[in-house]
Structure 1
């Protein structure tokens, strides 16, 4: 267990004596005890240590034993307390530095990587049928039942995204052309350009929870937060009460700006953008022609907002918690980010079915080539072989409250600092959420 020696005042040395510059004094710890040793140690002790300082006249100097309380983050009891506080079922142990992604992949059954065309097209059938049923519910439901119809239809639309998601990871079909066509078509009702999203999403997988480089989510920079009052207010609202729809801002900022892509990517990006704009130019006028402006709101806009709710919630729950760090590239460890830095969260079964198990997310980050219909089998294998390192939860209000009120501004030591700690007078939306959101786990 690591131990810090903050001050060397407890070394009692003879007047004018200093350690030789070529001989280090090292800290060494055993459970509950911290003591010192020199590089030239003659005899080891348990409660105290003797070491020699090589000078013209060698003198023995004795270090005093100092009891040290073990780091609470390294204890199962402390992790259990954190889990309860944050709304988790389990917070995993830190993954050792010597574990590599390939070590984890090698423990997975080979069958979880196999593409099954029947299961792949079954997922398409589930999404098309459930989405059509949702549109029928919207057309028939009285006004007071419309929110339920929109919730169902928006969740079903999220299934389209997951199908395109599998296509982008080459986990839908062995035929690349089929994957590109299905992925593009699946994304069209969502007004999502397939290729721009694919390029940026690949970067998210390559650099998960890496500061700046991760293209999904990352904490707010303190400099950004303090740059201007107007921007600060917008950030507080966006990362607070509006965070379940912040993927809309992400969608606009990342997928329509040609300057964000390499020259080699631009041709495919432009084709995807053309498909999206064609859908808007043809599909929206048809909806308005048949049902009017309010019909466009009822049949497209509200389900689309429901889709973005799940898009935002899934994404932030997958990688955001007070104990999960974002790291600079020189400190980043791939296995730790993908296994320790990804969260498994169970949702109501109907959500899991309509969204094709996208929330079974840890195996997907271990290997994106695992098809969505094999994620549960892969997760079971991870539980058997790496279970003590996994972060797991069942969706609950305390989990959401933790993310929305705590996980805000990046801090190297604490991971996050809440907005209301940095700017309490401007953080009324956060204090409101602290009071208004239930605390049920």
Structure 2
């Protein structure tokens, strides 16, 4: 459960086979009251070109088509989408993506220029992060005590930019040189005490299994069996998925990145190199900070900005893929295109956050293709809006959005997607009822 609890603080799906072009069934318009699924019981055998003109009638199989009524999704209704937008704090909620659309279909509509690596723009992002971080350290050193929270917020956001640079390196969208990417990615992660290679291996699985039950390595809902298994564990889960959720990436960091046994044999050597770099940074960097500024200086200059980074790490990740209308699905029901386009949220943050974090929250195109560099995400998003806009979820970061995630998106339910803790165990869910009372409803 510890690993699930950690993975919940950050957590896609095996791609379905693309149907043969001649046998694709196009769904009814989303405005229709119902749809019909054409069910093929037996398909004709395929013949070679040489024999196709001499097919014997006896060799054909009979094709039997059965029309099966499929209930429309509630999200097909525009009024319903408008209402849950208001309830959840969203700006727009997309209609369900047809099941016969593939990721390749979506990717092929993107302009080729959004995949191009620009060395000047890549290194400009490094300059922005290094400069903003240096400014943050200067602010912490000079600010009076009552302005320190502002300095910590700036510096924590600035080092989140380091994470995004390493994130681009891991996706091979920073440089054409793999060695450069490995070096820059490792160095960018060091101030965060994040081992680059272990994180990269886990994050690749997140992209491959987004919102797939048990497989996604970012946020996952809780199973009712776990919630009911132990009173002590139940209370820990309630706090972890409630008030502590914006920092639950710390648990994920500890549990999922430092255990060599969690990685495949061909990954272990790279994992060990990353761990050695992190431990060397801690062994050298932390004593130097303490020697020059004392324990209080270590808290001021490293720990508080690091907690600010984890606030954004947790918050960005859960906002990207967690909402009452976005389902987690088992592997046999999962659809890659639906998970990446319908199951990912674009969220606008204040401009200074977007700049310092290199547009990582323009997140839908990143899940359509992780090879898109961060500085091209906005152009890719505009293209997706033009071609697939009706299927996309969009929000502006607000209190109601956060309140919805922290107080509703808890226990997995196949039909409802989520059941809130206070519905299942009101007597143990005082942290959730407290959040409902004190968190504003401003959207």
TM-score by length of structure 2 reads: 0.84
2:103 and 2:87 map into 1 onto residues whose CA distance is: 30
- Which residue matches 1:272? 274
Q: 1:416 aligns with which of 415, 418, 427?
A: 418
Q: Unaligned regions of 5+ residues in structure 2, if any?
A: 1-30, 36-70
Partner of 2:434: 432
Q: Deviations over 1:82-122 (max 9, x none)?
A: 11110000000000000000000000000000000000000
How far apart, in 2, do the equivalents of 1:408 and 1:249 lie? 17
Q: Secondary structure at the match of 1:195?
A: helix
Match of 1:391 among 383, 389, 393: 393
Which position in structure 2 is the counterpart of 1:239?
241
CA deviation map 1:229-288 (0-9, x unaligned): 111100100110000000000111110111110011000000000000000000000000
- 2:225 matched to which residue of 1? 223
Candidates 193, 196, 201, aligned match of 1:194: 196
Which of 142, 151, 168 is the matching residue for 2:153?
A: 151
Match among 83, 87, 90 for residue 88 of structure 1: 90
Structure 2 residue 347 is the aligned partner of structure 1 residue 345: yes
Which structure has more relative contact order (CA 8 Å, sep 6+)? It is 2
User: What is aligned with 2:175?
Assistant: 173
SS at match of 2:395: strand
Question: Aligned equivalents of 2:79 and 2:87: distance in 1?
Answer: 12
Q: Secondary structure at the match of 2:174?
A: coil
Q: Secondary structure in 1 aligned to 2:346?
A: strand
Partner of 1:56: none
Name the SS for the 2:309 alignment partner.
helix
8 Å CA contact 2:73, 2:96 repeated in 1: no
The residue that corresponds to 1:54 in the other structure is none
Q: Please tell me whether residue 366 in structure 1 is matched to residue 368 in structure 2.
A: yes
Over 3 Å counting, the alpha-carbon distance change for 1:109 and 1:145 in structure 2 is same
Task: Give the superposition deviation at 1:73.
Answer: 3.0
| Equivalent position of 1:335 in the other structure | 337
> Counterpart of 1:350 in 2: which secondary structure?
helix
For the Cα contact (< 8 Å) 2:94–2:392, is it kept in 1?
yes
SS of the residue corresponding to residue 332 of structure 2 reads: helix
2:409 match: 407
Q: Measure, in 2, the Cα distance between the counterparts of 1:149 and 1:280.
A: 23
Q: Partners of 2:191 and 2:34 in 1: how far apart?
A: 62
Partner deviation per Cα, 1:302-342 (whole Å, 9 max, x = no partner): 00000000000000000000000000000000000000000
Distance 2:371 2:34 in 1: 47
Report the 3-state secondary structure (helix = DSSP H, G, I; strand = E; otherwise coil) of the residue aligned with 1:392. Answer: strand
SS at match of 1:254: helix
Q: Name the counterpart of 2:303.
A: 301
Aligned to 1:253: 255
Q: How many Å apart are 1:33 and its aligned residue?
A: 9.2
RMSD of aligned alpha carbons: 1.6
Other structure's SS at 1:241 match? coil
For 1:110 and 1:102, locate their aligned partners in 2 and report how far apart those are by CA, in whole Å.
Answer: 14
Kindly name which structure, 1 or 2, has the bigger radius of gyration based on alpha carbons: 1
The alpha-carbon distance between structure 1 residues 33 and 286, as it changes in their structure 2 partners (threshold 3 A), is closer
Classify the secondary structure of the residue corresponding to 1:416.
Answer: strand
Distance in 2 of aligned mates of 1:288 and 1:31: 66
Q: Partner of 1:329: helix, strand, or coil?
A: coil
Give 1:72 shift. Answer: 3.8
CA distance in 2, matches of 1:118, 1:33: 52
Aligned to 1:46: none
Query: 5+ unaligned residues in a row in structure 1: which ranges?
Result: 1-29, 35-68
**2: CA distance between counterparts of 1:373 and 1:142?**
36
Residue 63 of structure 2 is matched in structure 1 by none
Secondary structure at the aligned position of 1:344 is classed as strand
Distance in 2 (alpha carbons) for counterparts of 1:112 and 1:429: 44
Q: Deviation at 1:77?
A: 1.0
- 3-state SS of paired residue (2:294): helix
Q: Which residue of 1 aligns with 2:323?
A: 321
Alpha-carbon distance in 2 for matches of 1:115, 1:104 = 21
CA distance in 2, matches of 1:250, 1:77: 38
Distance 1:329 1:70 in 2: 22
